């Protein structure tokens, strides 16, 4: 069968492939760094950082070629893709391209002479990187992969010509650092009554195929790709070339009557990006319309400059071993000979640049509390703290209100209140003492003390207010033994359990205040069997209190006038009481005191 094959021309070559070209270019894209073309070409140590990623060129059939293919029902249009080594300029140096982009948009693009790569404006203000006619989706420095858009091969029935018209693609990356990923890609075929093949360039080393059949729309199921309307098969490792072809024995001219599309599709594509839909079978253009005739494919790249492994690369005496920087490690390529450089341990960054691997910033993942938390990155670790007023709860990873601070402030406030209260109490006590001293002075207490010092042996006691208040239980009503117009008499107990009678006077003549203490001293010297003895007094209160001996049998008034008491007392006793009272009064008014 005649084949129309258009192949991308290979640019002039010379001087060999530069050291780790693909790794260096991907490294720049990963770090967002680029170098200008004015840098010294003699910077041999890191010129690889700008040496190009191997250029990719898809040759698209010319209009004449397509017309020729369409003119004959038996002609197959075979489009060939060469993924070549980096092109070289007249001086033998690699043509460099650095494409750095985020979310498929180019943010920085640097080109050197003769580069066939460019950043194209796909929408107003939106630029994307292309190598030839191939759109580059992203490059992974760590995984050693590049994702790009791969053309779709088709096999369609042309009702006008009444024949099947295949349009297939082949892809050659065998002389580049790229290999098709056997882990992430699958050979995928969509259609009814179709058999597609995928082979290497010799048709001997590798041959595989996938057949897809269906008789009814009801047999199809969205998301299922197991041979009914869709099939997938794995590819081997180390694959750098593939060719797609369709078996001409499968004809879709009759299935359109069953409501099925008459087009079949075959492509090597990223498996995770594909989910079968029944519309791909019902509508013959639905798949290409959805994917714009391009599907993502993943290619593994590695440093393959004659090095089969990390061990062999380290032994190389030419100095081309790329993993020489500190804090990085060499990793053997999982897909064919070659190796990659990765940052080791707790490091991240660009292992292909001097000191490109740096400590991982754990704070990027926001490990600290989101509310009130502050992350501090440290070497191989991080520390969390909380803003003022909050305390870190490590168990729950939260910043809780700082109860310690609140407690401290509260305790401090309470201590301040307590000390203030003590200070106030001390001040009030001092004021009270001053008042008591003033009362003591006003009632002649000073004169009384002078007399007591001058007359030794006086059985007279000056009580404090505290002593007397304690003796009568703070003026407890149960302690009252007598009450009259001149005051109230309480029964009290002083030290030694000695009972006393305490008279709290109702009032005092202001004119007699100064002589009160002296008069009490004189009265205390009265010693008569019919007169109650005065034991002492209290002068530090506003109205002085008298302390007398306690008479246990009550008052004379109660004895004479108490209920039914007069009938029980003999007349002789009453007469004796009157006589003894008269003797006492006589003694008070005599000069025998």
Q: Which residues carry a binding-site annotation for ATP? A: 503
Are 455 and 555 in contact by the 8 Å Cβ rule? The answer is no
3-class secondary-structure state, position 92: coil
Residue 4 CA to residue 68 CA, distance in Å, equals: 8
Q: How far apart are CA 255 and CA 272, in angstroms?
A: 29
Instruction: Find the helix packing angle between 513-524 and 445-454, rounded to 10°.
Output: 30
The residues pairing with 294 across neighbouring beta strands, listed in sequence order, are 151
Phi, psi dihedral angles at 524 (to 5 degrees)? -70, -20
Contact 549, 455 (CB under 8 A): no
With b meaning 16 or more CB within 10 Å and e meaning fewer, what string describes 550-575? beeeeeeeeeeeeeeeeeeeeeeeee
d(CA 52, CA 34): 12
Rounded CA-CA distance 224/204 in Å is 31
Do the strands 76-83 and 3-6 form a parallel or antiparallel pair, or are they unpaired? Answer: parallel
Element (H, E) at 524: helix 513-524
Cα distance between residue 269 and residue 148, in whole Å: 10
Instruction: Yes or no: say if 217 and 257 are a contact pair by the CB < 8 Å rule.
Output: no
Which residues, 6+ apart, have CB-to-CB distance to 397 below 8 Å?
Answer: 367, 368, 369, 384
Q: Give the alpha-carbon dihedral of 26, 27, 31, 35, to 10 degrees.
A: -90
Q: What is the rounded CA–CA span in Å between residue 284 and residue 291? A: 13
CA pair distance 195, 179, nearest whole angstrom? 25
Q: What is the DSSP string of 249-317?
A: T---TTGGGGT--SEEEEEEEEGGG----THHHHSTTHHHHHHTTEEEEEEEE-B-SS--SHHHHHH-T
Residue 320 to residue 307: CA distance in whole angstroms: 10
Distant-in-sequence, close-in-space partners of 71: CB < 8 Å, separation ≥ 6:
none
44's CB contacts (< 8 A; 6+ apart) are: none
Residue by residue, DSSP assigns 15-79 as S-PPTTHHHHHHHHHHHT----TTS-TT-TTTGGGTSPPPPEEEPPPPHHHHHHHHH-TT-EEEE
Q: What 8-state DSSP symbol labels residue 203?
A: S
Separation of alpha carbons 5 and 18, rounded Å: 31
CA quadruple 332, 333, 338, 339: dihedral sign: negative
Tell me the three-class secondary structure of 416-446, residue by residue.
Answer: HHHHHHHHHHHHHHHHHHHHHHHHHHHCCHH
């Amino acid at each position: 069968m005649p084949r129309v094959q258009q192949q991308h021309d290979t640019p002039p070559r010379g001087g060999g492939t530069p050291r780790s070209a693909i790794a260096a270019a991907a490294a720049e894209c990963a770090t967002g760094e680029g170098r200008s073309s004015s840098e010294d070409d003699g910077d041999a140590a890191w010129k690889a950082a700008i040496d190009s990623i191997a250029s990719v060129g898809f040759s698209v059939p010319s209009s004449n070629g397509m017309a020729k293919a369409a003119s004959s029902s038996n002609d197959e249009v075979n489009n060939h893709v060469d993924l070549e080594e980096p092109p070289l300029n007249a001086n033998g140096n690699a043509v460099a391209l650095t494409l750095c982009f985020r979310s498929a948009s180019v943010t920085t693009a640097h080109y050197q002479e003769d580069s066939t790569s460019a950043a194209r404006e796909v929408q107003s203000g939106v630029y994307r990187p292309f190598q030839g006619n191939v759109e580059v989706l992203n490059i992974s420095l760590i995984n050693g992969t590049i994702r790009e858009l791969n053309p779709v091969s088709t096999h369609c029935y042309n009702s006008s010509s009444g024949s099947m018209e295949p349009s297939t693609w082949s892809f050659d990356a065998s002389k580049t650092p790229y290999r098709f990923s056997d882990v992430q890609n699958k050979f995928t075929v969509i259609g009814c009554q179709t058999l597609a093949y995928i082979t290497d360039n010799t048709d001997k080393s590798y041959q595989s195929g996938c057949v897809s059949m269906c008789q009814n729309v009801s047999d199809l199921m969205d998301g299922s790709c197991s041979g009914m309307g869709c099939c997938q098969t794995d590819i081997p490792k180390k694959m750098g070339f593939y060719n797609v072809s369709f078996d001409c024995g499968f004809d879709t001219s009759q299935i359109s009557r069953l409501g099925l599309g008459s087009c079949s599709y075959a492509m090597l594509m990223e498996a995770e990006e594909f989910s079968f839909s029944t519309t791909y079978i019902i509508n013959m253009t639905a798949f290409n319309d959805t994917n714009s005739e391009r599907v993502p494919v993943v290619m593994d790249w590695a440093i393959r400059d004659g090095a089969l492994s990390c061990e062999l690369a380290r032994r190389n005496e030419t100095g081309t071993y790329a993993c020489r920087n500190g804090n990085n490690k060499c990793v053997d390529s999982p897909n064919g000979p070659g190796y990659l450089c990765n940052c080791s341990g707790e490091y991240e960054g660009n292992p292909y640049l001097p000191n490109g691997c740096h400590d991982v910033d754990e704070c990027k993942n926001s490990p600290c509390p989101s509310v009130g938390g502050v992350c501090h990155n440290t070497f191989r670790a991080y520390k969390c703290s909380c803003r003022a007023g909050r305390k870190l709860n490590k168990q729950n990873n939260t910043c809780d209100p700082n109860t310690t601070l609140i407690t401290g402030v509260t305790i401090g406030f309470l201590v301040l209140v307590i000390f203030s209260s003590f200070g106030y109490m001390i001040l009030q006590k001092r004021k009270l003492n001053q008042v008591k001293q003033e009362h003591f002075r006003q009632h002649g207490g000073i004169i009384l003390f002078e007399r007591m010092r001058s007359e030794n042996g006086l059985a007279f006691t000056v009580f404090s207010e505290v002593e007397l208040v304690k003796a009568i239980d703070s003026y407890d009503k149960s302690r009252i033994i007598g009450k009259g117009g001149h005051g109230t008499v309480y029964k009290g107990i002083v030290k030694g359990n000695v009972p006393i009678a305490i008279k709290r006077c109702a009032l005092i003549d202001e004119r007699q205040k100064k002589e009160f203490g002296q008069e009490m001293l004189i009265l205390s010297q009265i010693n008569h069997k019919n007169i109650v003895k005065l034991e002492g007094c209290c002068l530090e209160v506003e109205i002085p209190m008298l302390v007398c001996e306690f008479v246990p049998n009550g008052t004379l008034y109660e004895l004479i006038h108490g209920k039914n008491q007069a009938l029980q007392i003999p007349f002789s006793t009453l007469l004796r009481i009157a006589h003894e009272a008269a003797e006492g009064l006589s003694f008070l008014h005599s000069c025998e005191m």
